[in-house]
Amino acid sequence: MNSMTKSLSITIIDDDQSVRESLLDLLEVFGYSVRIFASAYEFLESSAIPETNCLLLDISMPGMGGVDLNLELKRREIEIPVVFMTGHAQDAVINEAKKAGTCLFKPFASKELRSAIELAVNP
């Protein structure tokens, strides 16, 4: 584990509690500092934005999905590397996500997740 991994703060935003908890456990094993949120709105109202080095965003969530959250952050001139996650193959939404970052399809391997995060923060 390199020193950069330890300094990264990853924020997970997913409406599925089991996904949030399993990713939290996995990313902490990798040595990342991790925060979790159940919705995009919860994240936007938090103090975690300036401390986030990479976002793991579920594409499909009630209310504001991952792509919309990413657009809102850009509108606010907040640049955070993003890794999108989805369990649903919606071509139009996935294409939008891929324009803004990496898109992983659930379920994905831990190695694939780690590579996507490293690529997002070190393009």
In this prediction, residue 62 has a pLDDT band, given cuts at 50, 70 and 90, of: very high
- Asked whether the predicted pLDDT for residue 73 surpasses 70, the reply is yes
Contact between residue 14 and residue 23 where contact means Cβ atoms under 8 Å apart: yes
Residue 114 pairs in a beta bridge with: none
pLDDT tens sequence across 7-37: 799 999 999 999 999 999 999 999 999 999 9
Say which amino acid occupies 21: E
Domain boundaries, the chain: 3-121
pLDDT recorded at residue 87: 81
The residue with greater pLDDT, 99 or 56, is 56
Architecture of the structural domain at 3-121: 3-Layer(aba) Sandwich (3.40)
Q: How far apart are the first and last CA of the chain?
A: 19
| Mean per-residue pLDDT over the chain, rounded | 87
Longest dimension (CA), the chain: 38
pLDDT recorded at residue 101: 66
Residues 6+ apart with CB under 8 A from 43: 11, 13, 37, 49, 69
Query: Containing H/E element for 7?
Result: helix 3-7
In the predicted model, what is the mean pLDDT of residues 92-106?
69
In the predicted model, what is the mean pLDDT of residues 103-120?
91
